[in-house]
Amino acid sequence: MAASPYCPDCSRLIGICVLLGALWEIRAEHILYSVPEELENGSFVGNIAKDLGLEPWELAERGVRIVSRGRTQLFALNLRSGSLVTAGRIDREELCDRSPKCVVNLEILLEDNVKIFGVEVEIIDVNDNAPNFGAEQREIKVAESENPGTRFPLPEAFDPDIGINSLQGYQLSSNGHFSLDVQRGADGIKYPELVLERALDREEEAVHHLVLTAFDGGDRVHSGTARIHVTLVDTNDNAPVFTQPEYHVSVQENVPVGSRLLTVKATDTDEGANGEVTYSFRKVRDKISQLFHLNSLTGDITVLGDLDYEDSGFYDIDVEAHDGPGLRARSKVLVTILDVNDNAPEVTVTSLTSSIQETSSPGTVIALFNVHDSDSGENGLVTCSIPDNLPFTLEKTFGNYHRLLTHRTLDREEVSEYNITVTATDHGTPPLSTETHISLNVADVNDNPPAFPQASYLAYIPENNPRGASIFSVTAHDPDSNENSMVTYSLAEDKLQEAPLSSYVSINSDTGVLYALRSFDYEQVRDLQLLVTASDSGDPPLSSNVSLTIFVLDQNDNTPEILYPALPTDGSTGVELAPRSAEPGYLVTKVVAVDRDSGQNAWLSYRLLKASEPGLFAVGLHTGEVRTARALLDRDALKQSLVVAVQDHGQPPLSATVTLTVVVADSIPDVLTDLGSLKPSADPNDSGLTLYLVVAVAAVSCVFLAFIIVLLALRLRRWHMSHLLQASGSRLASVPASHFVGVDGVRAFLQTYSHEVSLTADSRGSHVIFPQPNYADTLISQESCEKSGPLLRSQDLPERKGEPNLQQFSQHQLLKRLSSLHCIFLPPLSKMR
């Protein structure tokens, strides 16, 4: 901005003021600068970076900026140089009027640590205003009869500058009748007065033209002039007189426009036109003329505009009264504006964080705001508060600045967003308040692992399932958000039956659905123990595990398996022996079966499906025992054929059948004898086989008896026991062969060794089976037949030393040899077809 035309040498003063502006001080985070008014835009004020302890380049990095409450910004930061500079024209008189000291306060905010520094810039006055009379000319009416020494008030000049730059004095143009006298009032204001030096003569000169000059005391003096016209009139003996030298009035700032404040009163003892008094403002300024009105006739002062205590709390109004001829009197009206609580507090948010991580420590700054109330006293005291149920607190910092801080650690999963209401309330009556809403989002941190609703899961899948079938679905919930809540699923590596679990089941990593990779067999795998892992996508990722047990459900896919009677490998059926003397309930045999399924699929029941003689035999429903249902009769057929069905309880039920042949006979020889009486089969081949069987059994019996006789003879001759040999030989020769295997022998055979004798007949591969002795009620093993050995050995006939004696065979030894006899003729018979 160019220097004032009244001060062409102001550059030197400006330079001095710039040097003064370099003076600074930091006290309790408070920085002081001074700068002259009327500097050009961008002029240096102070090195703010240095005073903050920063380098210039750190200003932008740390977010250093000026905060204000909305008025025009007078200063700015030069981020390159780190300096505080002017942002526009600064007019001290506009800012501070005639205040002795003009200070502009601003705040510097460091965004990174939300710290406030107060800066005071004192605006130094520059002589940029000349004294001004307001009106270029003034007319004063003077009676020609006035005596020398009479004083007449002159208009006063006004200079808005202060100090040496303000009004310093007056000068009056030279003339022969008047002189200038300057009076200083109690308020320090200089009042010029025109003094009559010698008598006037209207006829000589009716009007005197004078020039009144007012000058200030700046580096280059500025001045202002007013033309004074002194008009001589007839005699006016008395000037108006105010009833009070000063009028005091107090008025509330909310007084309505048009209200009367007070009435000034001046009296003039003259009569007629000389006693008529009118009123007017002296040194009237635009601001006063806009707020107040003076009735020139009545002296009533009324409110012309809205009063505002915050704009000005006090007004000093000069009034004057003058009569018709022009005599004047001066007085002051002092108006005090009383503050009314008509301004609600203003909240200006200076710094605001819209988002904060949930793991932020207590004491984290959320917002920095300034609270201002334009009222004064109690009306200007402000208290800030927030709701008690929020995890935040308020802290007062520099001046009227407050910080909003976290009071404790936040949890986004509890509350993800806060709408914080800051209430600023003044202490007026009634109190006024302002609410400011601050929205805060709580940013998620991956602090929650995925969670399963249950500690463990049980799943079921029927066996024989198709490959790729869906088994079960697990779902884990992560209360975090975005990537932190995206859950993926996986299975822990393990083995089952030496195969990895991943070959049995798989899991969809996105949905948690488990699929079967193979068809399960309950008889091989009954359950699978899995460990499902749910992991989120946070950084670092969090995970949790849950156990899952998959049970394979049994399906009725196995038919009952008959263990006894076992079917011969050649396709023939077993033969069971039932004595004709058997009583009802006699246990003939027992069908033993198992089912590889489980549960009710393995519950077996037995029933007689078909019998050649209905009603003769019965089968236990749950035991499989074949018993006689009644006593055997002579008319009952030798061979009874039974078909027993074994059925499980599955859905649908599966069954197996076995055919039993029961031969009704009291002894083994009877079986051999009765075999000839069996009715031939309808098949010619079956009849031929039966004939061959009878011939073979007879031949074997003869060979067996002959062999016994020869063996006994050799033994008796060797031991030289002819008398015993002859007796034993005659007994053996007279006993029929059947006696060796008679009923008593068979009973002894069965009772001693619990033999079960089975015959196979009426089949294409009919043969006779002589079971080997076995205490466990098992059938004879074919392997025993493959062992060869003599029927009698020398060791079987012990002798006493010195006394040759024939030791008879014990029944045990004899039957032992008989049980092995079948090995001689069994192979040929089994091959006869």
- Tens of pLDDT, residues 637-661: 888 899 999 999 988 899 999 998 8
State residue 574's pLDDT score: 65
If one compares 136 and 273, the residue with the highest pLDDT of the two is: 136
Confidence of residue 6 (pLDDT cuts 50, 70, 90): very low
- Tens of pLDDT, residues 675-734: 555 444 445 555 566 677 888 888 888 888 888 898 888 878 777 655 554 554 444 444
What are the φ/ψ torsions at residue 793 (nearest 5 degrees)? -125, 160
Integer Cα distance of 606 and 562 in angstroms: 11
465, 523 in Cβ contact below 8 A? no
Q: Which two tokens stand for residue 689?
A: 């086989």
Task: With a cut of 50, say whether residue 543 has pLDDT above it.
Answer: yes
Residue 584 burial (CB count, 10 A) = 11
For strands 625-628 and 617-619, give the pairing. antiparallel
What are the φ/ψ torsions at residue 5 (nearest 5 degrees)? -65, -20
**b or e along 686-706 (b: 16 or more beta carbons within 10 Å of the residue's beta carbon)?**
beebbeebeebbeebbeebbe
Average pLDDT over residues 800-810: 37
- Tens of pLDDT, residues 388-411: 999 999 998 888 889 999 999 899
At residue 223, what is the residue type?
S
State residue 803's pLDDT score: 37
CA dist list (Å): 580 to 584, 638, 663, 666, 670 = 11, 9, 10, 6, 11
Residues near 297 by beta carbon (within 8 Å), at least 6 away in sequence: 278, 279
Confidence of residue 251 (pLDDT cuts 50, 70, 90): very high
Integer Cα distance of 98 and 287 in angstroms: 14
Integer Cα distance of 193 and 142 in angstroms: 13
Q: What pTM, to 2 d.p., does this model score?
A: 0.53
State residue 91's pLDDT score: 87
